[in-house]
Structure 1
Amino acid sequence: MLNNLRLHSVLWAVTGLLALVAAVTGVAVPGIYAGVVSSELVPGAFSQDLISIVASVGLISVALAGGREQAKGQIIALGLLGYLFYAFGIYVIERTYNGFYLVYLAIFSLSFWALIAAGASLQRDFRAPELPRSLRLISASGALLQPMIFYPLWIGMLLPLMSSGNQIDSLYSIFILDLCFIMPGFLLLAILAYRSRPLGMLLLPALYVLGFALIFSLALGELVKPLFGLDTNIQSFWTSLVLSVFFGVLGALHLLRLELTAGPGQPAQRAAHQRHTGSTSRR
């Protein structure tokens, strides 16, 4: 699916390793957030770091597989990169100025440029992926549902702030990341999937991986609140859990039923072509 896979593997491995170090430290020593993250948000940082550990290990695993990894593994890797971009983007934008802030900046930057590099390296001769029509429409509808919900919700929360000129002290990063990056991504890929465009059908599962990891970290954050002397919000927990399951199921179904066929530029196809050419010339 991607050209220059070795280069991408290096980028993914470095990004995953840095994220793993930062996330493990956050889980082992949650005190690093003292003074730079409000106390009621520390459980969220803790749960996010737990998910980041899993995402980092997954990304490193795909990177180490190198050329042996199939296209679906690369799609999952792109979703994990998107998650790390979002998760550590929160720390960067929210000015989490602890001893790891430069590491957060590095992860935020590396994950962003790794995604850009992947987009620029998609093989042009990769044949159009195939997906059952009913599943394609369900997957695209699920993706379209996200901007339909969160654009009005977040803009509705921003308008009073804009009217009063009030500057909130935390979680403003969510508005930036969602409105500028994640929701446009869901909207664009949903439209492309509706129209059976290869890019939409190929990359939509990556956004579902990202969405599952992000929302599941919110559900997990509610469960760990008692560890920090806070009460669990049951409604928030179930809402986040249901939405994360929604992302996970749609992403899994889309990815499992997605049929990817190598084009003539793929190594296996080129080798077969060369064998055929060689036998013809001998005859």
Structure 2
Amino acid sequence: MAPRSVLTWTGALVVLVTVTSVAGLLDPRVYQEETANWALQAQGQDVGNLLAVVVLALAARRWAAGSAPAGLVWLGTLLYLVYAFVIYAMAVHLNYLFLVYVAVLGLSAWGVLVHVPVLRRSVVLHPGEGARTWPAVALVAIGVLFAGLWLAELVPATVSGQVPATLTGAGLVVNPVHVIDLSVVLPAFVLSGVSVLRGREAGLFWVGTWLAFSVLMGSSIVAAMVLTTAAGQSGAVVPAVMVSVVVVVSLVAAWAHLRGAALREPGG
């Protein structure tokens, strides 16, 4: 069963994230200092965040009812919120939501730190051999794919000294997505998947969690690309069809992997 703190944590995050998303989508003042391209990308993230709120609430209820997979999905959703709100807090001009951004970032980050040990103690994973292998391969492939895409843009730029068009279009000094992905998220994808492929049980805990993260992150990217394309903005690096495929693969792989999760018996 989920600790009581999960429902409290979830309730606070649902309220705060919903406030930021609705304001970002409906109030022009929120992104008035951003370039048109970056504002549209932020609104795409707002749409993704509303999806994350629904997933977080449902996962919390299912975990409280005794579902081990739901606990890992809940954790993956928190990781997504950490990622998203690092960007809001660091790469959006100061506005009246700034302290709310910081509050969501803090609650999400501390939620991960507090509840990872709880889940590690209470969840056991016994996926079949196929459900161990191909979700791990999918996670590694997604990590390598996005690392290749970002490096294909960044390496020529650093060699030539010419700022990429995606940065000038967004009005950014550096893209925080590149920083977080290349330093934390994509290495975590690859290391978790490789750990499972090498037969190390520790990786099993993280594969499904990062795949759940990948579903939410990919969905927010697709939403952002739809908004920027509809507005006639350029600067999208990753084709929407490719990201949509990543979302579907991540969703199916997460389901295959997480259905082997169960709560440890008391005293077990």
Q: In 1, distance between residues paired with 2:123 and 2:222?
A: 38
Q: Which residue of 2 aligns with 1:255?
A: 258
Q: Deviations over 1:182-212 (max 9, x none)?
A: 1122122112322444442233122111111
The corresponding residue for 1:90 is: 87
SS at 1:154 equivalent: helix
**CA separation of 1:161/1:233 partners in 2, compared to 1, >3 Å: closer, same or farther?**
closer
Aligned to 2:244: 241
Residue number in structure 1 paired with 2:20: 22
Whichever residue aligns with residue 25 of structure 1, its letter is A
Which structure 1 residue ranges, 4+ long, deviate > 6 Å from structure 2? 164-167, 231-235
Match for residue 5 of structure 2?
A: 7
Matching of residue 141 in structure 1 with residue 137 in structure 2 = yes
Greater relative contact order (Cα < 8 A, sep 6+): 2
Aligned to 2:224: 221
Match of 1:54 in 2: 51
Query: Which has the larger Rg?
Result: 1
Structure 1 gap segments, 5+ residues each: 267-283
Following the alignment from structure 1 to structure 2, what is the Cα–Cα distance between the partners of residues 92 and 252? 32
Give 1:222 deviation, angstroms.
2.8
Q: What is aligned with 2:193? A: 190
* Aligned residue identity for 1:249: V
Residue pair 1:59, 1:80 contacting (<8 A) in 2 also: yes
- Give distance in 1, aligned partners of 2:238 and 2:20: 30
Pick closer, same or farther for the CA change 1:127–1:49 going to 2, 3 Å.
Answer: closer
3-state DSSP of counterpart to 1:260: strand
Q: Is 1:151 aligned to residue 153 of structure 2?
A: no
**Structure 2 gaps, min length 5:** none
Equivalent residue letter for 1:254: H
Alpha-carbon shift at residue 223 of structure 1 (Å): 2.6
Secondary structure of the 1:122 match is helix
- Residue 178 of structure 1: CA displacement? 0.6
Partner of 2:36: 39
Aligned counterparts of 1:63 and 1:192: Cα–Cα separation in 2: 28
2:211 corresponding residue in structure 1: 208
Distance in 2 (CA, whole Å) between partners of 1:208 and 1:70 is: 17
Which residue of the other structure, out of 69, 72, 85, is the alignment partner of 2:69?
72
Aligned residues: 261
The residue aligned with 1:269 is none
Q: Secondary structure at the match of 2:101?
A: helix
Amino acid paired to 1:144: V
1:6-39 CA-partner distances (Å, limit 9, x unpaired): 123322322232111111111222441111x210
Counterpart amino acid of residue 79 in structure 1 = G
Q: Is the 8 A contact 2:59 2:74 kept in 1?
A: yes
TM-score, length-scaled by structure 2: 0.83
Q: Name the aligned partner's letter for residue 48 of structure 1.
A: Q
Partners of 1:128 and 1:63 lie apart in 2 by 18
